[in-house]
Amino acid sequence: MRAFVVTKYKEPLQEADVPEPTVGEHDVLVRVEAAGLNQLDEKIRAGELKQILPYKLPLILGNDVAGTVISVGTAVRGFKPGDEVYGRPDQDRIGTFAERIAVAEGDLALKPASISMNEAGSLPLVALTAWQALVERGKVRPGQKVLIHAGAGGVGSIAIQLAAHLGASVATTASGSNADFVRALGADTVIDYRSQDFEQLLTGYDLVLDSLGGETLEKSLRVLKPGGKAIEIAGPPEPTFAREAGLNPLLRLGVAALSRKIRKQAKKLGVTYEFMLMRASGDQLRQITTLIDQGVVRPVVGKVVGFDQTPQALQSLSQGGIRGKAVIGSS
């Protein structure tokens, strides 16, 4: 079976022949027809997350899949051969940059009927991130004010739509050229990050979803109202995450040190800071599927590349310029 693997951190992906997936009794074997390209994949390749995601090399990358069921394990009841499915494999079982992958039944859902395979392949990681940040952790309610950074990106383009559906007033940061695009997704207020300072223009927000970190995160704390919450998906991790992730005591100390400054700033301002690493969930994907087939949320695919172009496409993510997601699939 052909796949693209990380053989050494910071090196380009290498195409290789790898063993066929092992299909357990609760697993579904999927023929990969589309796979999303994510910043998470690039960070893993670059070795930036090896402290909190200690993968063994060589490693097949890929965190999103859409495809067709080939076979199912003996205990699987929810899927059958021929079903079109999509999902985000558990973080310990990633590997969608391959011809086939075995995924736990609980991490999959039937593909939304109203969208293509490429569109379905773009969704799982970013849609689950948006759902877990806004619905599960943020508990966004009508009338609240939500700031979503990088609104034209993969997570941002879905999060804007979901937050608007939940009844929030949505602000986002984007380039001026993407202003109309993010407004069409549901943003009420658009800040041009190249010429405007969102900290000077926004105040009294209930929730911030940030994927940028650094100075943007520090400023985000200051636009929150007392009791507000900043959810960060770019880091730094904090002690609660480290404990829930089961990191060893030494790593927990390191994580606490990394986030001490931002946690101290948040406490002083009377707000909270949470680092979030999304998790796989077929149940949540089924709820997202309903929103997609109702036309409430639409996937945004900015670029589709062939399987052979995977290494170059992954490394080009850092250049930006893509609305929504880049996808490995068929044109």
What are 164-222's pLDDT values in tens digits? 999 999 999 999 999 999 999 999 999 999 999 999 999 999 999 999 999 999 999 99
Closest to 151 (Cα-Cα) out of 168, 166, 171, 165: 171
- If pLDDT is split at 50, 70 and 90, which confidence band does 307 have? very high
Which pLDDT belongs to residue 53?
85
Side-chain-side CA neighbours of 328 within 13 Å: the count stands at: 28
Residue 245 pLDDT > 80: no
Mean pLDDT of 81-97: 97
Residue 331 pLDDT > 80: no
Is-contact 202 223, C-beta < 8 A?
yes
Which pLDDT belongs to residue 256?
80
Mean pLDDT of 116-122: 98
Residue 255 pLDDT > 90: no
Is-contact 204 197, C-beta < 8 A?
no
Digit-coded pLDDT (tens) for 50-62 = 888 889 999 999 9
Which pLDDT belongs to residue 181?
98
Which pLDDT belongs to residue 242?
78
Which pLDDT belongs to residue 278?
93
- If pLDDT is split at 50, 70 and 90, which confidence band does 260 have? very high
Mean of all residue pLDDT scores within the chain: 95
Residue 239 pLDDT > 90: no
Q: Which of the residue ranges 47-56, 61-70, 106-115, 309-318 would you say has the lowest mean pLDDT?
A: 47-56
- If pLDDT is split at 50, 70 and 90, which confidence band does 240 have? confident
Question: Rounded to whole angstroms, how far apart are CA atoms 118 and 290?
Answer: 18
At 125, is the secondary structure helix, strand, or coil? helix
Residue 318 pLDDT > 90: no
Mean pLDDT of 110-138: 98
Mean pLDDT of 142-160: 97
Digit-coded pLDDT (tens) for 275-293 = 999 999 999 999 999 999 9
Question: Rounded to whole angstroms, how far apart are CA atoms 286 and 28?
Answer: 17
Which pLDDT belongs to residue 251?
78
Which pLDDT belongs to residue 250?
79
Residue 246 pLDDT > 90: no
Which pLDDT belongs to residue 42?
94
Is-contact 34 5, C-beta < 8 A?
no
Residue carrying the six token digits 């670059």 = 46
Nearest-10 Cα torsion for 246, 18, 24, 243:
10
Mean pLDDT of 18-25: 97
Structure tokens given for 158: 């879905």
Residue type (1 letter), 270: G
